[in-house]
Structure 1
Amino acid sequence: MIKAALIGAGRRGIFAYASYALKRPDEIQFIAVAEPNEERRSLLAREHGIPPEMQFTSWQELLDRPQLCDVVLICTQDREHYEPAMKALERGYHILLEKPMSPNPLETIRLAEEAERRNRIMTVCHVSRYDTYYSTLKQLLDAKVIGKVMTVQWTENVGFWHHSHSFVRGNWRNSDETSPMILQKSCHDMDMLQWLIGGNCVEVSSFGKLSYFKPENAPAGSTERCTDGCAVEHECPFSAIKHYYNEKDSGFPMAVCLTPTLEARLKAIKEGPYGRCVFRCDNNVVDHQVVNLIFNNEVTVAFTMTAFSTENTRTFKIMGTEGEIKGHHENNEIEINYFSGKKEIIRPERYEGGHGGADYLTMRDFVRQVASKDLAGKTSAAVSARSHLIAFAAEHSRITGRTIQLNEYIQELKRGERHASQA
């Protein structure tokens, strides 16, 4: 039986990961929680029977204690990953770390190096790698069913409603407080592309802007909040009342308010961040971005991230020397078109749970990894750091307008760190 502690009892921590222990109590048990929000801390403690003396208001309180258990899950906000992760490694814990590892590229490198130095497991929550849909795609590519892969078109359709919730009103709206969009949302994509293609990215270029969710695009008659008598609220596709004023007990409404009553939801919309007009928030992350990549095996990638989609899913076309593979994740379809004229459609097995069952499978594999003392696993810190650096390089390219040589970029980062330490 693995004993665990949760640092950061947000929606992902509680419902995506810790819930695994309620389904598999013979495999893992949560015996401690650190969370500043009393409502969320108490909810996790009640569900898992955690006594008061093992409930902490901060990660510092928990990690200042001698090692309490085998593993910690770190599911705090982006800028609160690095310090608790480094402290947990020092204390001797194995770690499941929510992505991104850090919004700072050097901290990302340091985490990977420290986990290796201390012989500790640090698995990063790139949940898509655990999804049966993408693992099936990986098997097809490795089997060379379309020959040698040459070109990839990959699209992250964020969805207009998901973008407005998470990246305009929500926790990841402002890169000064969290991470750039390409890192926070699309480090999954960079990770999967690196994994699926099977080579190392060598060059990156990128363009992107925050073009729409800005004050100058606010409709006439709109107000600071959707509940302030907005003249266009009924017609607005981003209306907080439409999206959150209901009694659903999961998903995005749960992020707005844990209490699934109309009274509580209305209060949250009137007073909290999720009731703001999407054109009058303090957001600064891009709402559309493109990234071009070339790998050392000569595979080229055209990646698009966009808020302006009705669907919230990934779609792709992978082109090889003997055929092409088209994919639509939400439809659970992988379509293979061979140059011979043969066509095949595969629908992989799915598991219950978030991200097509990938949240559950991530926890299942992490528990097995800890039990077997497998330091590598599917998404080790070392592998994840490399894909994070692709995202960092893409953002650097977007800001500077330069094409980035990835290895040179990494060496520049390390030289800068050495110079800073010598100053």
Structure 2
Amino acid sequence: MMSRLRPIKSLWSRSSVRSNESLSAIMTSLPNEPVTLAVIGCGQRGTRYTEYALDHPKTCKVVAIAEPRPNTRDIFARNHKLDRTLVFNDWQELLKASADTIQTIGKRLADAVIVAVQDHMHCEVVAAFAAQGYHILCEKPMATNLQDCLEIEKAVKNAGIICGIGHVLRYSPYSMAVTEVVRSGQLGELINVVHVEPVGYFHFAHSYVRGHWRKESESSFSLMTKSCHDIDILCHWLSPALPMRVSSFGSLQHFRKEKKPRAAGAATRCLECSIEQDCPYSAKKIYLEPVSRGNTHWPASTIVDGIPDIENITDALRNGPYGQCVYESDNDVCDHQVVNIEYSSGATVSFTMVAYTSLICERQTRLHFTHGEIVGDMNNFTVTDFRTGHKTTHHPKKESSGHGGGDVGLMRTFVEAVRTNNQELLGTDISEVLKSHLTVFAAETSRREGTVIDCAKFEKDIRAELEMR
């Protein structure tokens, strides 16, 4: 394993490299220095994860980035005060720069890489940087198809690196507090879990009807892209029991052309629609009106390159996918799905993902034990002990970052795992992540085929099939 690095200051030029002696002297790592990060993909997730570096500069620091969008790239570079010679247009440029420094002086550009590119790119990027010895934090899902998931597992294991996946639900104060009660055994055996993921009506329209995750052929099915970390935390709570059988049902029910209101006529964009004001999925309501009131954050910030002002947002709605009528879009992923899982312990799980909710990603969870229950909503949870009748409501500390503090919790844990070279701090490893992803693939197979899937057989058959290719 290559040693950790201190941040590189004005060292790298795409056309030349300073002397080996100079580079080696400057890049010698000191134990108390921050963990250094290279960020591949500076959009919403890359930006959100690296807020931790801005808030905790003594703990970690971004030293290099790769981002194709010029305005997004420049804003990110300014915010992190990056040396311009370590700002790259794409991940291949960053990879080549890293390879050159490794070959020249035997050092990487950073300790770890955050992979926050589009989902279908994860495998190629993770494998390339794992091969160079970088520790990796990859946004969820780990990949969009089974072969790429297995390739990532192989690449991470072969490299012997620290690897985290963006299953942020595990790392929020709320989830960690629930996990502590589950693990304590104080309520007896966990028998059943009912878990609901309320995506949010306009969130689904933004991401899964108009956005990057609208078409399975360009990303993956919605259970994977939206809910893989729900399945992950359910498997985490039921561990060491393993999923044995899975069934699933769901479809794309509403966001289809035949559901379009007749009064909308031939309009294909919200800005030209006569009934836009009566439509809950109006792009004007979701993007333009909030920006006019000064709200330039998500989701408006994700649809333009740079500052989401009135002019840029209007242009995006006139010319891009985010201004299309939701009934005229080329989306094909499920807008509702249920998953039932039976575990080796005999426990059962019922999971629902649904678009049509006022709540946005505020999961509702009930965990039923032999001697009590936990009922929670991602903010607070109540523990009831059947033996005493006593109810205790827990109010875990809230953090301002996304997913109830899960984003900062994951970053804090990953950085410490890299600093101490200790995968166990993350509470999971790449094989366990793969196992929960396989459960998601099994559920989708059940939905498509209308059958109950034997999880062990499913994994065995998939591995055998892919090995024969």
CA contact (8 A) 2:188 2:370 kept: yes
Higher alpha-carbon deviation: 185-194 or 253-262: 253-262
SS at match of 2:248: strand
Map Cα deviations across residues 376-399 of structure 1 (whole Å, 9 max, x no partner). 322432221111111011111111
SS at match of 1:227: helix
Question: Does 2:46 correspond to 1:13?
Answer: yes
Map Cα deviations across residues 115-167 of structure 1 (whole Å, 9 max, x no partner). 12221011111111001111111111112232211111111111111111111
SS at match of 1:292: strand
Map Cα deviations across residues 31-62 of structure 1 (whole Å, 9 max, x no partner). 21111111111111111122332222221111
Question: Does 2:388 correspond to 1:344?
Answer: no
Aligned-pair identity in percent equals 35
Higher alpha-carbon deviation: 178-187 or 377-386: 377-386
C-alpha deviation, 1:346, in angstroms: 1.1
CA contact (8 A) 1:125 1:379 kept: no
Alignment correspondent of 2:81:
49
Alpha-carbon RMSD: 1.3
The code of the aligned residue for 2:384 comes to N
Alignment correspondent of 1:210:
252
The code of the aligned residue for 2:382 comes to E
Task: Name which of 387, 399, 413 aligns with 2:448.
Answer: 399
Higher alpha-carbon deviation: 91-100 or 262-271: 262-271
Give the whole-Å Cα distance in 1 for the aligned partners of 2:431 and 2:329: 36
Alignment correspondent of 1:369:
417
Task: Name which of 61, 68, 80 aligns with 1:29.
Answer: 61
Alignment correspondent of 1:333:
380
Question: Does 2:136 correspond to 1:95?
Answer: yes
SS at match of 2:270: coil
Alignment correspondent of 2:271:
227
The code of the aligned residue for 1:175 comes to E
Alignment correspondent of 2:192:
151
Alignment correspondent of 2:283:
240
Alignment correspondent of 2:368:
319
Question: Does 2:301 correspond to 1:254?
Answer: yes
Give the whole-Å Cα distance in 2 for the aligned partners of 1:60 and 1:261: 31
The code of the aligned residue for 2:41 comes to G
State the aligned residue count: 416
Alignment correspondent of 2:37:
4
C-alpha deviation, 1:113, in angstroms: 2.8
Give the whole-Å Cα distance in 2 for the aligned partners of 1:123 and 1:381: 8
C-alpha deviation, 1:333, in angstroms: 1.7
Map Cα deviations across residues 282-304 of structure 1 (whole Å, 9 max, x no partner). 11110000111011111101111
SS at match of 1:316: strand
CA contact (8 A) 2:123 2:151 kept: no
Give the whole-Å Cα distance in 1 for the aligned partners of 2:357 and 2:212: 21
Give the whole-Å Cα distance in 2 for the aligned partners of 1:141 and 1:51: 46
The code of the aligned residue for 1:56 comes to F
Give the whole-Å Cα distance in 2 for the aligned partners of 1:318 and 1:207: 22
C-alpha deviation, 1:181, in angstroms: 0.7
C-alpha deviation, 1:352, in angstroms: 2.0
The code of the aligned residue for 2:228 comes to C
Higher alpha-carbon deviation: 48-57 or 294-303: 48-57
Give the whole-Å Cα distance in 2 for the aligned partners of 1:378 and 1:319: 23
C-alpha deviation, 1:256, in angstroms: 2.0
Alignment correspondent of 2:14:
none
Give the whole-Å Cα distance in 1 for the aligned partners of 2:261 and 2:274: 9
Residue segments in structure 1 that go unaligned for 5+ positions in a row? none
TM-score, normalised relative to structure 2: 0.86
Task: Name which of 264, 267, 273 aligns with 2:312.
Answer: 264
Q: Which has the larger radius of gyration?
A: 2
The code of the aligned residue for 2:46 comes to G
The code of the aligned residue for 1:404 comes to I
Residue segments in structure 2 that go unaligned for 5+ positions in a row? 1-33, 100-107
CA contact (8 A) 2:337 2:353 kept: yes
